[in-house]
Amino acid sequence: MSLQISPRTSDIGLPVRRLLPSRLLQRVGPFIFVDHMGPDFAHYPASDIPETQIPGGTLRVLIGSALGLESPVRAHSLTTFLDLQLKAGA
């Protein structure tokens, strides 16, 4: 038998999702409940991720900002994730 439980969400400055037992499923694994705190996931197409050519390769700004580019992806704290692809020999 497979049963999917949808979390209840509260916002306390950041979203908190809690899975509570239901009458069909009294436990979630060994836990009474499971909390998930953190940023919501949002999909961004590759075409929305800013990139620029740099000497010897390409730089994409996945989260945060760099070299005057700003990613549409949001984080709850100051975070910068970059993808750097270098050409062979660069």
Residue-wise pLDDT tens digits, 12-53: 666 666 665 555 655 555 555 555 555 556 788 889 999 999
Q: What was the pLDDT predicted at 74?
A: 82
pTM as predicted: 0.54
Q: Domain count for the chain, please give it.
A: 2
Same domain, 33 and 50: no
| 2 is a domain residue | no
Q: What was the pLDDT predicted at 4?
A: 63
The pLDDT mean for the chain works out to 76
| 17 is a domain residue | yes
Domain residues for the domain of 50 are: 46-86
Q: Do the Cβ atoms of 44 and 73 come closer than 8 Å?
A: yes
Q: What was the pLDDT predicted at 24?
A: 60
Average the pLDDT over 6-14 and give the result.
66
Higher pLDDT, 60 or 12: 60
Q: Do the Cβ atoms of 59 and 52 come closer than 8 Å?
A: yes
Same domain, 31 and 57: no
